[in-house]
Amino acid sequence: MTSIKPPGNELARSSKQPDPISSSLTENLRRIESIYSACDDLTILPWRYGPDLEHTAFSVYFETLVQQKEFNYMKKSLQDLVTHEVGPGTTISPESVMAFFEHNGVSAQSHQLVDNFEQVVDNVADGHLLIFFNHWDKALSYKAARLETRQVTEAVSEPVVKGPREGTVEHLDKNIGMLRSRLKSPRFKIVTFSIKGETNTKVAYGYLDGIVNTDMLAEFQRRIGKLEEGEILETSYIEELIEDSTYSPFPQFRYTERPDTAVAALLDGKIIVLADGSGSIMICPGLFVEFLQSSEDYYQRTVYSSLIRFLRIIACLIALLLPSIYIALSTFHPELIPTILLLTIIDTREGIPFPAIIEAVVMEFFFELLREAGIRLPRPVGGAVSIVGALVIGESAMRAGIASPMMIIIVALTGIASFSLPQYNFAIALRVLRFPLMLSAALLGGYGLMIALILIWLHLINLRVLGQPYLSPVGPFRPKQWRDVIVRAPLKTLFQSLRYPSVRKRTNQLRRLAGKE
């Protein structure tokens, strides 16, 4: 990613020594004009105040970020300062200004003193209004941002039939507030920091103290501590920077736009990551079995939730293996197909000029193309174009003798199965692996398919996420945690078999204390 430095910018972010603010108002004004040259939305407003207007100052803020009413209130308050608190001709001090604002308030927003231009640049970019006074080597800064953000609505990527419907927005403080309103424990820790760069993005991560695995937390903090500089526009940037295996097709972190899902992950000992300007919450780590689960599983009765999980497992197998199995059986092992079905397949393939592998690759390619077209087009027409395109291309391909009806059915079932998976990034992994599996089946039939599956299984066994086995609790085998893997046990059973020993120990202590009382 290439960054363009504006002309005349004298501020070097890479400088180790911060550039102090001068006590000369003229020098500070020159520096501000040089740093923010060609920024038409920056407002530099010089003004005088005091009984005899003997004091000079100027204000700096982005008019696209700061509310004008906040600035007017601040200016009037400063004019009253000299009249009521300091006599004419007296040089006011930073302490007197701070004392005044402590007593009178600053529009119910936080305020602080800054003493170098690095802080000035950071505060102005965050929507602060800064005031420079003559004979001061500091500047007064307070938050007066006017941020036009999206209202809290239902999560688009995670629709639910039953359960909470609020979704996250692109504002970090609002997202943390929604999490705090659901998880009121003081053990819910939030750590916020900024990643230096042109974007200077504010990032936060949270965990539940006493429940999170301490070794996993230490490893996460070590990795994220290396992100000192960079351009972070979304939480997915952080995923690629801290993940264990960059070239693995399997996702190692989950994403959600629902606060209830993030809170459930925290209660399960996970770490969440949020970034300002992003509506996605990253959940660390993401294990294989968790990508087949949904938060709505816990809002339905256990019989229905378990059935839905069985359907997802079958859908996962169909999305990954169905085209490969068809290619292997029709090309190498026709004796394994029932006679009537084999005759039907032979009849439908009569006149098809391509082998099964070419037929499958072509149809899968056009299906993926239609899927991407439906996503990228405007929402009112995207769904219609993808459906109409699939019908027209499928019918035309059969009439032209390019694809058989059986192959079109298989490609359609594969696509529907991938749509039924709750995590989009996990479905992408299956889409990527589908093509090498098809190639293996076309080369060696069932043997090639088995070799490819063994290689995938070996990769999953060796894959670790923040030190945790990716296949846990399948491998290593942890039978107590199987109550929430393939089937969803009743909630009273899950509550009695908490996952982490530290939680069980604390729960038992509380029960003993309650018994003594």
Query: Phi and psi (nearest 5°) for 405?
Result: -60, -35
Q: What distance in Å separates the CA atoms of residue 76 and residue 444, rounded to the nearest whole number?
A: 82
Q: Report whether 70 contacts 106 (CB < 8 A).
A: no
pLDDT score of 191: 92
Query: Phi and psi (nearest 5°) for 274?
Result: -125, 150
pLDDT score of 505: 47
Q: Report whether 171 contacts 202 (CB < 8 A).
A: no
Q: Report whether 465 contacts 282 (CB < 8 A).
A: no
Q: What distance in Å separates the CA atoms of residue 234 and residue 253, rounded to the nearest whole number?
A: 14
Assess whether pLDDT exceeds 90 at residue 106: no
What is the DSSP code (8-state) at residue 30?
H
pLDDT score of 69: 61
Q: What distance in Å separates the CA atoms of residue 240 and residue 317, rounded to the nearest whole number?
A: 27
Name the pLDDT band for 451 (thresholds 50, 70, 90): very high
Burial class (CB in 10 A: 0-12, 13-18, 19+), 60: buried
Classified as helix, coil or strand, 132 is strand
Q: What distance in Å separates the CA atoms of residue 154 and residue 156, rounded to the nearest whole number?
A: 6
Name the pLDDT band for 53 (thresholds 50, 70, 90): low
In single-letter form, the type of residue at position 95 comes to E
In single-letter form, the type of residue at position 194 comes to S
Classified as helix, coil or strand, 16 is coil
Classified as helix, coil or strand, 284 is strand
β-bridge partners, 114: 139
β-bridge partners, 214: none
pLDDT score of 496: 66
Assess whether pLDDT exceeds 80 at residue 390: no
Q: What is the mean pLDDT of residues 233-247?
A: 89
Which pLDDT tens digit goes with each residue over 464-513? 999 899 998 888 888 777 888 888 888 877 776 554 444 454 444 444 44
Query: Phi and psi (nearest 5°) for 132?
Result: -105, 130
What is the DSSP code (8-state) at residue 205?
E
Torsion over CA of 68, 74, 76 and 79, rounded to 10 degrees?
A: -140
Q: What is the mean pLDDT of residues 304-321?
A: 93
- 269 φ/ψ sector (left φ>0, alpha ψ -120 to 50, else beta): left
β-bridge partners, 405: none
β-bridge partners, 140: 113, 131
β-bridge partners, 469: 464
pLDDT score of 68: 64
Q: What distance in Å separates the CA atoms of residue 359 and residue 339, rounded to the nearest whole number?
A: 23
Q: What is the DSSP string of 439-493?
A: HHHHHHTHHHHHHHHHHHHHHHHH-EETTEETTTTTTTT-GGGGGBTTSB--HHH
pLDDT score of 52: 64
Encode 108-119: b = buried (16+ Cβ within 10 Å), e = exposed. eeebeebeebbb
CA R_g for the chain: 30
Q: Which helix (H) or strand (E) holds 112?
A: strand 111-114
pLDDT higher for 129 or 497? Answer: 129
Task: At 135, list the tokens.
Answer: 């004979």
Encode 164-175: b = buried (16+ Cβ within 10 Å), e = exposed. bebbbbbbbebb
Which pLDDT tens digit goes with each residue over 416-432? 899 889 898 999 999 99
Q: What is the mean pLDDT of residues 294-299?
A: 87
**How high is the mean pLDDT of the chain?**
81
Q: What distance in Å separates the CA atoms of residue 129 and residue 201, rounded to the nearest whole number?
A: 19
Q: What distance in Å separates the CA atoms of residue 198 and residue 193, rounded to the nearest whole number?
A: 15
Q: What is the mean pLDDT of residues 293-300?
A: 87
Q: What is the pTM of this model?
A: 0.79
Residues 6+ apart with CB under 8 A from 512: none
In single-letter form, the type of residue at position 223 comes to R
Q: Whose structure tokens read 């029932």?
A: 338
Classified as helix, coil or strand, 80 is helix
Helix axes 25-35, 117-125, angle to 10 degrees: 50
Assess whether pLDDT exceeds 50 at residue 110: yes
Q: What is the mean pLDDT of residues 98-106?
A: 56
Q: What distance in Å separates the CA atoms of residue 363 and residue 353, rounded to the nearest whole number?
A: 14
Helix axes 424-444, 446-462, angle to 10 degrees: 140
Name the pLDDT band for 319 (thresholds 50, 70, 90): very high
Which pLDDT tens digit goes with each residue over 142-182? 777 666 667 777 787 788 888 888 888 888 888 999 999 88
Task: At 231, list the tokens.
Answer: 């351009």
Q: Whose structure tokens read 């100052």?
A: 57
pLDDT score of 30: 92
pLDDT score of 219: 93
pLDDT score of 290: 92
Name the pLDDT band for 516 (thresholds 50, 70, 90): very low
Nearest to 319 by CA among 409, 417, 412, 249: 417
